[in-house]
């Protein structure tokens, strides 16, 4: 009986240990940058990525000459050395100790108010939204864009200066991938700037559109990055042995049309069916209610410094690609002006990799929304997903410059 009790107790620890507030640590984890020199090396990396080998691919395998960032656990060091010494790669250590970056990222805790000098948790972000509604009762309204598997509300705000703007509605999405904290920080700063800036050109753009901000698209995953595992990407829905679906492979347009995995343990698991996730399903229902008014859908990711244009399933220049590309180049130029930060502009497949089932593809393909961009924000891998808090403001400012340019340019092109 005692043994049985011990067994049950151990099971309990195994299954529920993570809920005891224990944080996954990344001591000694390194990020290597591998640049494949041949097609064979590219294929080998793809195999490694798809076999759930214990490596965490921070960026995707694109092709010969394109660097790939891979996080390697310390006890995999020798195994990974074999990968490197198999030849075919230029390799170097890019981040020597991931836990050090995480420790530097989260010095607790000066203020619960958003000042964009640190990263905040879900409740602080939601409180910021509620405070804006109190502060600007005639302009800002709280919205619920859906809910999650674990029962959380997916909160956002609508900003509207005039009912006449209803057919020029812009929707800003962020933090659909849980570990990309910079994205919700940039989105909340942008929201604040649209409300508070005194720059005439900003006022012009802000007050001639309706805006929807939903800063945390994946609250379950986001909370999990705060409580348990900083490097979590997916939702938290349990599927057999592993949890979570990649919420940006789960949307119902060209679902499962390349660049997603059928393995629940993979970081790009697409889910058993399109919109299997409560969050993507309920958010998509919300977006559908405003879709006829939608002029712009902007999705924020990190990292790599890219402006991505639809679609993720095809490299063909579909819909208004030329228009998006031209404005994208101007937006990249205005982004670079402040700080010299360089962005690459292009179709998802062309400049990144095949990735089907994304939210932007679904919006573009379903509703024909004219302005559709996905940002991959700072940086280019020095810190990767763990961008230091002192880069929140510079990153937000330059991103904002580019957003203003996008809307100024499209205001000349669209009715
Ligand atoms: C927005 O577009 C709809 C459909 O074309 C139209 O009925 C409505 O009057 C427009 N709203 C404004 C404020 O122009
Ligand atoms: C970016 O701008 C900030 C001030 O806004 C400045 O301190 C920093 O040196 C700049 N970085 C680069 C790379 O230009
Ligand atoms: Zn992402």
DSSP 324-391: HHHHHHHHHHHHHHHH----EEEEHHHHT----S-HHHHHHHHH--SEEEEEEES-SSSSTT---GGG
pLDDT level of residue 255 (50, 70, 90 thresholds)? very high
Ligand 2 pocket check: which of 394, 398, 399 to mutate, most ligand atoms within 8 Å of Cβ?
394
Distance 339 CA to ligand 2 centre (A): 5
Q: How far apart are CA 152 and CA 129, in angstroms?
A: 15
376 labelled catalytic? yes
Ligand 1 atom 2: the closest Cα is on which residue?
167
CA distances from 279 to 19, 124, 251, 275, 373 (A): 22, 20, 11, 8, 21
Active-site entry in 173, 180, 376, 409: 376
366 neighbors 255 (Cβ within 8 angstroms): no
- Does ligand 1 lie within 6 Å of residue 167's CB atom? yes
Residues 6+ apart with CB under 8 A from 254: 311, 312, 313, 356, 357, 361, 365
Ligand 1 atom 14: the closest Cα is on which residue?
164
pLDDT of residue 14: 43
Overall average pLDDT of the 67-83 stretch: 94
Q: Which ligand is nearest to the CA of 308?
A: 3
Output the average pLDDT for the chain. Answer: 93
Ion ligand 3 nearby residues (CB, 5 A): 177, 301
pLDDT of residue 111: 64
Ligand 2 atom 14: the closest Cα is on which residue?
339
For CA atoms 392, 397, 402, 406, give the dihedral sign.
Answer: positive
Please tell me which residue, 313 or 108, carries the higher pLDDT value: 313
Distance 307 CA to ligand 3 centre (A): 13
Distance 167 CA to ligand 1 centre (A): 6
Using the predicted structure, report yes or no on whether residue 261 has a pLDDT greater than 90: yes
Q: How far apart are CA 221 and CA 270, in angstroms?
A: 15
Q: Which ligand is nearest to the CA of 358?
A: 3
Lowest mean pLDDT among 8-12, 183-187, 362-366: 8-12
Q: Please identify, by atom number, the ligand 2 atom nearest to the C-alpha of residue 340.
A: 14
pTM: 0.92
Q: Which ligand is nearest to the CA of 160?
A: 1
Using the predicted structure, report yes or no on whether residue 7 has a pLDDT greater than 60: no
Lowest mean pLDDT among 52-61, 217-226, 295-304, 373-382: 52-61
- Does ligand 2 lie within 6 Å of residue 339's CB atom? yes
pLDDT of residue 11: 42
Q: How far apart are CA 190 and CA 206, in angstroms?
A: 10
245 neighbors 270 (Cβ within 8 angstroms): yes
- Does ligand 2 lie within 6 Å of residue 394's CB atom? yes
Distance 335 CA to ligand 2 centre (A): 13
pLDDT of residue 109: 64
- Does ligand 2 lie within 6 Å of residue 337's CB atom? no
305 neighbors 344 (Cβ within 8 angstroms): yes
pLDDT of residue 35: 96
- Residue 31: count of CB within 10 angstroms of its CB: 25
Ligand 1 atom 7: the closest Cα is on which residue?
167
Give the bridge partners for 301, in sequence order. Answer: 376
Token duo for residue 79: 């195994």
């Amino acid at each position: 009986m005692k043994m049985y009790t011990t067994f049950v107790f151990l099971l309990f620890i195994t299954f529920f240990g993570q809920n005891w507030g224990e944080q996954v640590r990344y001591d000694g984890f390194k990020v290597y940058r591998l640049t494949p020199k041949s097609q064979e090396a590219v294929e080998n990396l793809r195999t490694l990525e798809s076999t759930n080998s214990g490596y965490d691919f921070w960026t995707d395998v694109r092709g010969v000459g394109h660097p790939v960032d891979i996080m390697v656990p310390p006890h995999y060091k020798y195994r990974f050395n074999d990968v490197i010494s198999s030849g075919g790669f230029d390799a170097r250590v890019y981040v020597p100790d991931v836990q050090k970056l995480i420790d530097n990222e989260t010095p607790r805790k000066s203020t619960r108010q958003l000042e964009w000098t640190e990263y905040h948790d879900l409740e602080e972000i939601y409180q910021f939204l509620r405070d804006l509604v109190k502060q600007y009762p005639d302009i800002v309204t709280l919205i619920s864009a859906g809910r999650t598997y674990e029962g959380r509300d997916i909160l956002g705000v609508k900003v509207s200066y005039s009912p006449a703007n209803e057919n020029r509605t812009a929707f800003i999405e962020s933090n659909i991938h849980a570990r990309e904290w910079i994205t919700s920080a940039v989105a909340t700063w942008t929201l604040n700037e649209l409300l508070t800036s005194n720059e005439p050109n900003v006022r012009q753009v802000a007050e001639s559109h309706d805006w929807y901000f939903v800063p945390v698209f994946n609250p379950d995953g986001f909370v999990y990055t705060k409580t348990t595992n900083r490097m979590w990407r997916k939702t938290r829905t349990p599927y057999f042995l592993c949890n979570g679906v990649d919420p940006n492979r789960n949307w119902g347009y060209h679902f499962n049309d390349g660049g997603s995995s059928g393995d629940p343990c993979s970081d790009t698991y697409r889910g058993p069916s399109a919109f299997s996730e409560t969050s993507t399903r309920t958010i998509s229902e919300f977006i559908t209610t405003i879709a006829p008014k939608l002029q712009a859908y902007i999705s924020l990711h990190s990292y790599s410094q890219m402006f991505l244009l639809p679609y993720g399933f095809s490299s063909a220049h579909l819909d208004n690609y030329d228009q998006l590309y031209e404005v994208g180049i101007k937006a990249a130029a205005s982004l670079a002006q402040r700080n010299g930060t360089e962005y690459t502009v292009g179709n998802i497949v062309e400049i990144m990799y095949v990735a089907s089932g994304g939210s932007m593809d679904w919006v573009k393909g379903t509703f024909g929304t004219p302005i559709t961009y996905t940002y991959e924000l700072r940086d280019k891998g020095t810190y990767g997903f763990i961008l230091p808090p002192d880069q929140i403001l510079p990153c937000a400012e330059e991103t904002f410059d580019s957003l203003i340019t996008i809307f100024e340019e499209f205001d000349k092109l669209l009715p």
